[in-house]
Amino acid sequence: MATKKTIRGFGVLAMAVAALLLTGSPRAIAADEVIKMTMAHADVADPTQYVHAGAVAFKEYVEKASNGNIQVTISAGGALGNTASLQEMTMTGEVQASTSHTEGTIAIIYPNIQCLSIPYLFQNVDQALEVFRGKFGQALFEDMRKQTGIRVIGIWDNGGFRNFTNNKREVRTPKDMKGLTIRTMDNPAHMEIVRSLGAKPIPISWAELYTALQTGVVDGEENSIPTFLLGSLQEVQKYMVMDGHVYSQLHMFVNDKWFNGLPKKYQEIILQGGQAAGYAGQRANRVYRDIGRGICIKAGVQFYDPTPAEIAQFKALAQPPVTKFIREKGVKDPKWVDDILVASDQALIKLGYKKK
């Protein structure tokens, strides 16, 4: 697997990046005390990679804004554990801050995040970010904080929109999906999307995905182009259909009890650092998407861009049953499904896009 080699291919982009890890148990902290933090994540320590880019931006902002009174150590590459472990460690306060978190792992502790997995809900990244940086996202993340003890301080793309890839045949319409075995995260909503399109979902961990594709355990998978490249999957996949079925989002967490023990001025710096991380990660993602397709094509991946009519076929098959599934068996409170449907339409209007 040539993950590091692939990531270094983006070295031409000089990205500001940031991440944080915090040590020590939650307690009140004096206003003049030097605070040592650890920000943990499970991805490669490369400043052009969108997870690490966000972590580095956080570190740089927080240390400068606090005049060095907050010192941030980044623990990258899963040195402290995988994403699910880091999520649990952040909940308990064993780790004060972490990132690499997507809706797939968050659903384990906060099922309402599955409202994000309604297929073909967003037309573009701007619409999605408007929803999650606006009133809807603020309400959802506040509910998550109350239920889990985790505070979301930054969000950005987990590569953006997820697309189907496989080694068997070109996919143009849902009928081409029939009979394929597709790797998904262990996310019930994502698995239901695959089923609704006539394929068979098989949950496999990210660490095992490359080998599973290489050996034919599954025919394909579904990920954004940046994530696809992160795993060097262009080496073991032939076809990608740009259907954009789900927008995937990355989250930066802090332990809320630890956060509330900070002086107010440092709380504000941490929150602003999370915003800086989000914008840095977002910039890295946009560059990845812009140049990533060309890298994949050069590696032999064949792309297909569905027409609006073909996308409508995917949406007609997947959105109604999966939305029903999420409402009845995914989220704990179905109001989040209703609210995100309204918020997505409102975001289009606000941004001046025409609904397709």
Q: What is the mean pLDDT for each group of 10 consecutive residues in the chain (356 residues)?
A: 38 31 43 86 90 96 96 96 94 95 90 95 93 95 97 93 97 97 91 97 92 98 92 96 95 97 96 97 89 95 97 97 96 96 95 85
Rounded-to-integer distance, Cα 42 and Cα 231, Å: 13
Rounded-to-integer distance, Cα 322 and Cα 338, Å: 14
Give φ, ψ of 133 to 5 degrees.
Answer: -95, 0
| pLDDT in the model for residue 71 | 97
Q: Which residues partner with 163 through β-bridges?
A: 223
Environment class of 73 (CB within 10 Å of its CB; exposed 0-12, middle 13-18, buried 19+): middle
Q: Could you say which DSSP state residue 228 is in?
A: H
| pLDDT in the model for residue 354 | 82
255-303 pLDDT per residue, tens? 999 999 999 999 999 999 999 999 999 999 888 888 999 999 999 999 9
Cα 150 to Cα 43, 60, 250, 257: the distances in Å are 20, 23, 14, 8
Cα 277 to Cα 54, 101, 153: the distances in Å are 4, 14, 9
| pLDDT in the model for residue 105 | 87
The residues, any chain, with a CB within 8 Å of residue 16's CB and separated by 6 or more, are 47, 53, 56, 57, 60, 280
Amino acid making up residue 142: E
| pLDDT in the model for residue 31 | 57
| pLDDT in the model for residue 29 | 59
Tokens encoding 237:
């996949």
Give φ, ψ of 146 to 5 degrees.
Answer: -65, -35
Rounded-to-integer distance, Cα 58 and Cα 273, Å: 5
Q: Could you tell me if 78 and 68 are in contact, meaning their C-beta atoms sit under 8 angstroms apart?
A: no
338 CB neighbour count, 10 Å cutoff: 12
| pLDDT in the model for residue 69 | 96
> Which domains are assigned to the chain?
15-351 (3.40.190.170)
Environment class of 28 (CB within 10 Å of its CB; exposed 0-12, middle 13-18, buried 19+): exposed
**Nearest-CA neighbor of 302 among 128, 136, 168?**
168
The DSSP annotation for 266-279 comes to HHHHHHHHHHHHHH
Amino acid making up residue 111: P
Q: Could you say which DSSP state residue 327 is in?
A: I
Residues written for the chain: 356
| pLDDT in the model for residue 185 | 85
| pLDDT in the model for residue 21 | 29
E strands present in the chain: 21-22, 35-40, 70-75, 97-101, 150-166, 181-184, 200-203, 220-223, 239-255, 302-304
Rounded-to-integer distance, Cα 189 and Cα 108, Å: 12
Tokens encoding 328:
């009845």
Q: Could you tell me if 73 and 37 are in contact, meaning their C-beta atoms sit under 8 angstroms apart?
A: yes
